[in-house]
Structure 1
Amino acid sequence: MNLRPDPSFYPTPRMAMEAPVEKLAFTLMLSPDFSQPDGLAVVNVDPQSPDYGKIVHTVFMPNKGDEFHHFGWNACSSALSPLTGHAFLERRYLIIPGIRSSRIYVVDVKEPLQAKIHKIIEPEEVFAKTGYSRPHTIHCGPEGIYVSTLGGGGADGTDGPPGIFIMDCETFDILGRYEMDRGIQDKHYDFWWNLPRDYMVSSEWGLPPQFENGLVAEDLLSNKYGHSLHFWDLRGRKNIQTIDLGENHQMALEVRPAHDPAKQYGFCGVVVDTTNLQGAIFTWWRKDDGTFEARKTITIDPQPADPADLPEMLKGFSAVPPLVTDIDLSLDDKYLYVACWGTGEMHQYDVSDPMNPTLAGKVEIGGIVKKTKHPNGKDFGYGPQMVEISRDGQRVYWTNSLYSTWDEQFYPGERGAAMVMARVGTGGGLTLDPDFWVEFPAGYRSHQIRLEGGDCSTDSFCFPSV
């Protein structure tokens, strides 16, 4: 425990934007055929360094078949909460769940170039203490580590609904389930909150049989994947409202509330509209009476394509859907970045007016049909996927793998891991840095990114910006 709050904790998002520029990034590596252990890569992102764009340290796990997906910190700016915070923690450990194995690794990155495994939580402990499986998203809360799951109990994860459990932020012991009353919530994906306003928002993907062996086309066309947002009394730990976005809006994934807690709105990305193959972004907001509403504010059209150029799953449509698989919001709440994994595009929207977003910039790279190369001439396999933004909002990083079995369905054959970065123009717009290209070890794919000291999908803030 520190004697003073960690200097990377900030009361407001605006103060966090003035933080020192990141020099390192942490990126997950997964072995899609489970022949090698998954790992964590420490990447140099300092343009003044001779190691710029290079992996400078790796940590490989002692097990195989974990399938790393999303990860997060043990503590962040939420620890400064005046009511429930643990202000003297330090941002020191990365909590990395294996979505297939249900195993959780705690990695000590206090000395990033000597990062090492601190603790391993075996799946049996997760099952016994929570009844959940397939841990997915990590958020550092004021009083503990919150972990969302994609599976319930039983071998196939369908014995009861998935949900959220909480870990101690110092010992990493599993404390137990979050939910006291889940209402109608029976699927899970992402979650985030507004701490001072005391509410949480969660979203839905599907149950393990719907994703582990690939997308189930019959379930998609029958609209059986998740399509709802759930709103929670955060401290009461109960569902207070559910909004169905419409059963055609399949797979409501990333939830991104405004960073400034004085603002009571946020965004959710929807992978595909089954009526027209569009991708969509919904804006949700809280009304004066405390209830919530949501409205579709961005649509992204599919692109016509020759069936000969398409994977089997898409041949019958003669088109490439955008496949919105990740979104991220800059700390000033101005720009929303939308990863279109299918068409090979990263969109930047000005969301200063959250109900009327406007396209401000776009980068094309990868894609099922386009296969746009990086400015350095190298092939970017798959499409833009997990996206992370620097705290000052000037750099946007992304990787290219979605999920091993889904990669194979939409992009057959091994395409290799990739991580790139685009610079943000003064008035918006994106330009890929031709000199930033990370080479990953053979046989690996790359997924989520965390930036040294915090980033735009890590921290939640307890005080409004001035």
Structure 2
Amino acid sequence: MAARFRPDPTFYPSPTMAMQAPPEQLAYVVLLDPTGKQRPDAMAVVDLDPASKSFAQVVGQLDMPNIGDELHHFGWNACSACLCPYAPHPHVERRYLVVPGINSSRIYILDTQPDPKRPHIVRTIEPDEVFRKTGYASPHTTHCGPEGIYVSALGAPDGGGPGGIFMLDHETFDIRGRWEIDRGPQELHYDFWWHLGHDTLISSEWGTPSMVRNGLDAEALLAGKYGHALHIWDLRRRKHLERLELGAEQQMVLELRPAHNPTRPWGFVGVVVSLKDLSASIWLWFLENGKWQIKKVIEIPAEPADPALLPPLLKGFGAVPPLVTDINLSLDDKTLYVSCWGTGEFLQYDVSDPHNPKKTGSVHLGGIVRKAAHPSRPDLELGGGPQMVEISRDGRRVYFTNSLYAPWDAQFYPAGFDGWMVKLDIPEGGKGMTLDPNFFLQFEPGLRGHQIRLQGGDASSDSYCYP
């Protein structure tokens, strides 16, 4: 009996201890039907063990029972936050995947036991239940926290706002209800994360369901109507504290990556595009002298291009925007990775001094114009570009896929593309990166990879209460 009460061995009190964990053996990757009409989305299981005969191959796949979900940013039911002293749940297992559909507002709970290569559905939370119990729609991102599972939503069932956060019980998966007690002026929503050591939650902004589900609304973009701010919240009191404005020209403030060390009150957020010059940027938020502040620390310029090679949406600009759609921070808080989905560039920065990032690496794959090939297939022009990125706990391996969101894929890559996943190797010290020539996974035709989760945890699954 005693064994039942030991904490899950994949939970770690600190990021430093998590970095010493065994290497990941499997990845879970959501696969999307880009038409949303022909077949269900799926959850693929990918072999990450270099010693295995099936390395870099899909070794298991669960097709969902419904068509048109557009599975999005899924996560584990429990993680290292369960070891926090003020809300301890060490008996909970990292076992279930909480998988939201951004288009259907349906949430699947997948059990990865007893066979991790054969996840199976144990519960489905239907859209009507989400609407009724939360008032929200289009669930987007899930994070496991000390007290339960947090889920962000883009807006309301009618397609408008506000967006926000609701909670699930991490054992029963029952919906508890909305998280916010006092939302203040917050209307738009996208990602959220926290500084557990400072009782602070940060949220970012994209757009309401009606602003995103049919693709980028050029009129709304040029009018500066997409998200351009961060929000600071009191995590315990669930109360809005302040809004950090980036400027209306900074459109679509997306992925949040706070420092993993809970004593460090700073983090990075990516901005998709500037209306001024189509550049993308990375901003640093930080606490200084008791005041939260934000500043731009990286700017990535657009690349001039022949209008004939550009999709209709971009022809008038004569340039390819970087379109930073995902970023990720290594567990030691020293290395930042940036996906430029438009230009096909994947960037690495040394952020040991977060106020002064230094570029340390770059690779190209895909891209709207470049269509850069993988070393293993120099003959194959690639569509899509670096998108959802995940880092191993020890920081030595990085994985990414190439699809953003079906209606947006169609606008920026109108010729269509196949789904693929790649791996990069990172040397000791974290500077530089090399594409693994033996890891170029092409998913089955008609399905595109999106979010990746690594078995046992990764650099964006967990939060920690100890440095």
Q: Same fold (TM over 0.5)?
A: yes
| Aligned residue in 1 for 2:296 | 296
| Aligned residue in 2 for 1:217 | 218
1:125 corresponds, among 118, 125, 129, to: 129
Matched, 1:36 2:39: yes
Gaps of 5+ in 2: none
Matches within 5 A, 1:1-400: 2-34=4-36, 35-110=38-113, 111-154=115-158, 157-158=159-160, 160-289=161-290, 291-377=291-377, 378-400=380-402
SS in 1 for 2:394: coil
Q: Encode CA deviations 1:129-155: one digit per residue, 9 max, x unaligned.
A: 00000000000011100000012132x
Question: Aligned partners of 1:301 and 1:84: how far apart in 2?
Answer: 44
Q: Encode CA deviations 1:79-123: one digit per residue, 9 max, x unaligned.
A: 001001211100000000000000000000122122111110000
Task: Report sequence identity in percent.
Answer: 58
Question: Aligned partners of 2:325 and 2:461: how far apart in 1?
Answer: 18
Gaps of 5+ in 1: none
Q: Encode CA deviations 1:294-346: one digit per residue, 9 max, x unaligned.
A: 00000001101000010011111111010000000000000000000000011
Question: Aligned partners of 2:287 and 2:181: how far apart in 1?
Answer: 22
* Paired residue type of 1:142: P
Matched, 1:441 2:444: yes
CA contact (8 A) 1:421 1:433 kept: yes
Tell me the CA shift for residue 413 of structure 1.
2.2
* Paired residue type of 1:328: N
Question: Aligned partners of 1:442 and 1:218: how far apart in 2?
Answer: 34
1:403 corresponds, among 402, 405, 408, to: 405
CA contact (8 A) 1:270 1:279 kept: yes
Question: Aligned partners of 1:323 and 1:340: how far apart in 2?
Answer: 5
Question: Aligned partners of 1:457 and 1:62: how far apart in 2?
Answer: 28
* Paired residue type of 1:243: L
Question: Aligned partners of 1:267 and 1:2: how far apart in 2?
Answer: 38
* Greater mean alpha carbon deviation, residues 105-114 or residues 362-371: 105-114
Question: Aligned partners of 1:121 and 1:384: how far apart in 2?
Answer: 31
Question: Aligned partners of 2:322 and 2:437: how far apart in 1?
Answer: 24
CA contact (8 A) 2:25 2:48 kept: yes
Tell me the CA shift for residue 438 of structure 1.
1.5
SS in 2 for 1:82: coil
* Paired residue type of 1:180: I
Question: Aligned partners of 2:293 and 2:156: how far apart in 1?
Answer: 29
* Paired residue type of 2:222: L
CA contact (8 A) 1:2 1:89 kept: no
Question: Aligned partners of 1:444 and 1:460: how far apart in 2?
Answer: 31
* Paired residue type of 1:299: E
Question: Aligned partners of 1:414 and 1:241: how far apart in 2?
Answer: 41
CA contact (8 A) 2:167 2:178 kept: yes
Corresponding pairs, count: 460
Tell me the CA shift for residue 288 of structure 1.
2.5
CA contact (8 A) 1:2 1:90 kept: no
1:462 corresponds, among 441, 460, 465, to: 465
CA contact (8 A) 1:333 1:351 kept: yes
Question: Aligned partners of 1:133 and 1:344: how far apart in 2?
Answer: 31
CA contact (8 A) 2:103 2:138 kept: yes
Question: Aligned partners of 1:61 and 1:216: how far apart in 2?
Answer: 30
Q: Encode CA deviations 1:395-440: one digit per residue, 9 max, x unaligned.
A: 1100000000100100012211000011112341111001101131
Question: Aligned partners of 2:88 and 2:346: how far apart in 1?
Answer: 36
Question: Aligned partners of 1:173 and 1:441: how far apart in 2?
Answer: 34
Question: Aligned partners of 1:432 and 1:183: how far apart in 2?
Answer: 45
* Paired residue type of 1:149: A
CA contact (8 A) 1:381 1:418 kept: no
* Superposition CA RMSD, Å: 0.9
Question: Aligned partners of 1:277 and 1:81: how far apart in 2?
Answer: 42
Q: Encode CA deviations 1:205-237: one digit per residue, 9 max, x unaligned.
A: 011121110101111111110000000000100
CA contact (8 A) 1:55 1:439 kept: no
Question: Aligned partners of 2:4 and 2:27: how far apart in 1?
Answer: 23
Q: TM-score, normalised by structure 2?
A: 0.97
Question: Aligned partners of 1:2 and 1:55: how far apart in 2?
Answer: 32
